[in-house]
Amino acid sequence: MSTNDKLNSQEHSQEDEFPCEERGCDEEARTWQKAAHAQLRGNPTEEAGAGAPLRIGIYICRCGGNISDVVDVERVAETVRLIPGVTTAKVHTFVCSDPGQHMISNDILQENLDRVVVASCTPFLHEQTFRGAVARGGMNPYLYEHVNIREQASWAHKHDPEGATAKAIRMIAGAVGKLRFAQPLEQIKLPNHRRALVIGGGIAGMKAAADLAARGIKVMLVETAQKLGGKLNQWGRVYPSERPAAVLVAELAERIQQDPNVEVLLGANVTEVSGFIGNFKVAIELQGSSTSTPSRKDATVGAIIMATGFRPYVPRDGEFLYRAEPCVLTMPEFIRFFQGLSGGAKQIIFNNRSIRRIAFLHCVGSRQLDGVHEPGADGRLNTYCSRTCCTTILQQALAVRERFPGVEVLDFHQDIRTYGSGEENYYIEASKAGVLFFRYDGSEPPTVQPTSSSRIKEGALTVAVKDVLTWGQELEVPVDMVVLGTGMVAGQIGDLIDQIKLATGEDGFLQEVHPKLRPVEVAVNGVLLAGTAQGPMNIAETLAAAGAAAAKAASMFAREDVELNPYVAQVDPTRCCGEAECVTQCSYEGALKIVEMQLDDEVIRRAEVNAGLCVGCGACVAVCPHRAIDLNGWRLDQYEAMVDGIAADLPSTACASELVNIH
């Protein structure tokens, strides 16, 4: 009989119970094994079964070397295989791969496993993957526990392989302890209102609404302005197709306005949002005429798509002489001005001035540095790249040279990032057209100054720059106009952020759960992101993101019910006294409330959980004086068992190797 069989048998003798004793192992190993076995024998989950002990499988991933280059995964497997109840401990190069998943599913079927631990990378990447593998093996997917030994062991302790290995063993031991008290759980099912709310009528909102409507889903599209199209209405041509922006707006607007599945509300604002996925309650304020008061429209929707867009960065008064000098314009201002000009002339007239030389400045309001740039009113520096500015500047610079060959164009940049497909051609063509490029270091941006009276004929303004392309030569370039390539900043939607409890990144934009695995989802179930509400994007990316949000929303409406993970609070009414401390501490309105119920001809007050609003944060568990509330999947007895497993004394490596050789 193998060591594991002896440990799992309920009929073995006292001598067989602790094989470490009979093999002369050290006291530390004997203590660890006795503690683990005592925990197994006192487990209420197992006693509630048919009398058979648990059969736990542990699967350890090498992660292509990300884990195994630091953690001795074979030694981990040898050691954790000794934990009572563990019948299988295997190592695989990529457990998340199809062969790795098949291994788990097959072992559940062939070895009658009833619990599974996967020790690999972060659960944010592959928790759903392994739940699916466990379910395909016929086991409840919530009887699987994930251990992150990549970020929390290998990567965190890459200079200490011994420590990382010991930590991985303890983390797995804790997961096994937690699983001993795990119970099968089922997904929560809630009614699903098959209608979506899209907030924002720019190209992202219109695209999302059009795609949803094409799938037969009802959509309410709410736009603050009296016209669809958003900021695209202010642009001339879009790159790289060079199609007129007005044509793109008109095509999308026609699609949704002629679709009976889309209700367009212009001059409207979403003022209230409550509820949860499948059952959001929203209030919309509809602006009346100048003499009438606004009206209110209430609706229930199943999903919300945030297509609230961005704001162009507005320079401070005096920044690069903005607002102090009429010939210093932001890029949106220049585009609007340039659209109204007719080409062919040798010069441009602006504000009664002859414009013969234009300077374009990159990264105004983007890639800001602490100590170099002044924070905005919110105290934030825009350290990110706005991504679209470089190509926009090159597009406009090329347009100036093509339509007004007599006008010189100068480009001042720290880098040029034309990353999109076909966008590099703008740089090539602008160079061929005679655009002159200057490059500066980000810590020493150019300055804009009024030209002295002695040089007024050369231009009204002077751009001073230390040019990296000429090995740091300090130049003063007279120009007639300066165009500031302003970046994107997050939209002003603070009220919606507070009401829906949306997360924002350091840049102020709405933050997704995961940029690759869940790129348009937020932490609030049923709320999705479309376009530049999420961050700077060009038009192609915006349309793609809006389509992805629509596809995700459509998948939510594929069933009659909404299915949610069961990790929510649960009240034990026999312990609850209705003191409402849990309700007071809950940060999610409506997730917990006190209700009256009938018990033995007596009306009593008890806490009740709304599973759709509860996020499983555990704040209620911590404050209940009677321990009447707990979290499914993370109950207090599971926490205690996990801590006991982590803290238990571990057998020595020699002892572990000796015992494994008994098999």
Give Rg (Cα) of the chain.
32
Where residue 89 falls (left for φ over 0; alpha for ψ -120 to 50; beta otherwise) is beta
> Residues for the chain: how many in total?
663
Task: Identify the three-state secondary structure at position 207.
Answer: helix
Detail the DSSP E strand segments found in 137-278.
144-148, 188-191, 195-199, 218-223, 237-238, 243-244, 262-266, 268-276
The per-residue pLDDT for 24 is 43
Q: State whether 625 and 650 are in the same domain.
A: no
80 with 173: CB under 8 angstroms? yes
Residue that terminates a domain, selected from 510, 541, 562 = 562
Considering only CA atoms, which of 496, 506, 562 is closest in space to residue 379? Answer: 506
Ranges of beta strands (E only) in 431-587 are: 436-439, 447-450, 461-467, 473-479, 481-486, 488-490, 527-529, 561-564, 569-571
DSSP helix/strand/coil, 112: coil
Q: What is the mean pLDDT of residues 115-144?
A: 95
pLDDT value of position 328? 97
The alpha carbon of 515 is separated from its chain's Cα centroid by a whole number of angstroms, namely 6
d(CA 90, CA 80): 10
Per-residue model confidence as pLDDT tens digits over 31-86: 544 444 444 434 445 443 445 689 999 999 999 999 999 999 999 999 999 999 99
For residues 629, 634, 639, 641, the Cα torsion angle rounded to the nearest 10 degrees is 110
Kindly list the distances between the CA atom of residue 165 and the CA atoms of 179, 242, 421, 652, in Å, as whole numbers in the listed order: 21, 57, 45, 12
pLDDT(389) > 90: yes
CATH of the domain at 538: 3.50.50.60
Are the C-beta atoms of 89 and 30 separated by less than 8 Å?
Answer: no
Q: What pLDDT shows up at residue 377?
A: 84
The pLDDT value recorded for residue 23 is: 38
Residue 240 inside a domain? The answer is yes
Q: What tens digit of pLDDT does each residue of 275-285 get?
A: 999 999 999 99
Lowest-confidence pick of 1-5, 189-193, 419-423, 641-645: 1-5
Domain match, 273 and 353 both = no
CATH number of residue 615's parent domain: 3.30.70.20
Residues of the chain with pLDDT > 70, as a percent, come to 88
510 in the Ramachandran plot: left (φ > 0), alpha (ψ -120 to 50) or beta? beta
Could you report the per-residue pLDDT of 401-454, keeping only the tens digit for each?
999 998 999 999 999 999 988 999 999 999 999 999 999 999 999 999 998 755
Residue 304 shares a structural domain with residue 347: no
Task: Assign 6 a pLDDT band (cuts: 50, 70, 90).
Answer: very low
Distance CA 621, CA 632 (A): 11
Q: What are phi and psi of 222, to 5 degrees?
A: -110, 125
Report in angstroms the alpha-carbon separations of 255 from 196, 220, 249, 470.
Answer: 17, 14, 10, 52
How many angstroms from the chain centroid is the CA of residue 12? Answer: 52
140 Cβ partners below 8 Å, 6+ apart?
134, 184, 185
pLDDT value at residue 215: 96
pLDDT over 60 (residue 493): yes
In this predicted structure, what is the pLDDT of residue 99? 96
Give the span between the Cα atoms of 149 and 151, in whole angstroms. 6
The Cα–Cα gap between 556 and 193 comes to 10
pLDDT at 17: 37
d(CA 463, CA 297): 53
Q: Tell me, what's the pLDDT at 293? A: 81
CB-count burial class (<10 Å; 0-12, 13-18, 19+) for 654: exposed
pLDDT tier at 138, thresholds 50, 70, 90: very high
Establish if 190 belongs to a structural domain. no
Q: Give the residue-averaged pLDDT of 504-508.
A: 94
Residues 6+ apart with CB under 8 A from 152: 167, 171
pTM score of the predicted model: 0.79
Sorting pLDDT into bands at 50, 70 and 90, what band is 29?
Answer: very low
Same structural domain for residues 333 and 478?
yes
Q: Is the pLDDT of residue 534 over 80?
A: yes
171-187 pLDDT tens trace: 999 999 999 999 999 99
Listing DSSP states for 490-524 in one string gives E---HHHHHHHT--B-TTSSB--SBTTTBTTB-SS
Q: What is the mean pLDDT of residues 318-329?
A: 95
Q: Are residues 31 and 163 in the same domain?
A: yes
Query: Worst-scoring range by mean pLDDT, 119-123, 244-248, 640-644, 657-661?
Result: 657-661
SS (H, E, C) 45-101: HHHCCCCCCCCEEEEEECHHHCCCCCCCHHHHHHHHCCCCCEEEEEEECCCCCHHHH
Averaged pLDDT, 566-594: 91
Q: What is the pLDDT of residue 253?
A: 95
Residue 160 covered by a domain: yes
Among 455, 487, 519, identify where a domain stops: 487
pLDDT classification of 27: cutoffs 50, 70, 90: low
Question: Domain total for the chain?
Answer: 4
Residues 479-498: what's their mean pLDDT? 96
Residue 586 DSSP one-character state: -
Question: Do residues 304 and 526 make contact, with C-beta atoms less than 8 angstroms apart?
Answer: yes
pLDDT digits 0-9 by tens, 549-568? 999 999 999 988 888 889 99
Residue 15 reports pLDDT greater than 90: no
Same domain as 328, residue 223: no
**Same-domain pairing of 483 and 345:** yes
Asked if residues 95 and 118 have their Cβ atoms less than 8 Å apart, the reply is yes
pLDDT band at 659 (very low <50, low <70, confident <90, very high): very low
Q: For residue 528, is it within any domain? A: yes
Do 150 and 118 sit in the same domain of this protein? Answer: yes
Domain that holds residue 574: 569-632
pLDDT at 658 over 50: no
237 versus 8: which is more confidently predicted? 237
Higher pLDDT, 4 or 345: 345
Same structural domain, 67 and 25? yes
Domain presence at residue 345:
yes
pLDDT (0 to 100) of residue 461: 95
Domain presence at residue 98:
yes
Across residues 580-601, what is the average pLDDT? 88
Looking at residue 455, its pLDDT comes to 54
Q: Which comes out higher in pLDDT, residue 236 or 135?
A: 135
Instruction: Give me the phi and psi of 651, to 5 degrees please.
Output: -70, 155
Residues 409 and 508 in one domain: no
- Is 551 within the bounds of a domain? yes
Dist. CA 482–CA 449, nearest whole Å: 11
Judged by average pLDDT, the poorest of 176-180, 198-202, 299-303, 585-589 is: 585-589
Average pLDDT, the chain: 88
Amino acid identity at 479:
V
Q: Reply yes or no on whether the pLDDT at 158 is more than 50.
A: yes
| Contact between 77 and 105 (Cβ < 8 Å) | no
Alpha carbons 327 and 4: distance in angstroms, whole number: 82
| Residue 18: pLDDT over 80 | no
Are 69 and 102 part of one and the same domain?
yes
Distances (CA, A) of 261 to 143, 194, 210, 214, 277: 42, 11, 9, 8, 20
How far CA 247 is from CA of 116, 174, 229, 573, in Å, comes to 56, 60, 10, 62
Please tell me whether residues 326 and 410 are part of one structural domain.
Answer: yes
Q: Which of 443, 462, 487 is the last residue of a domain?
A: 487
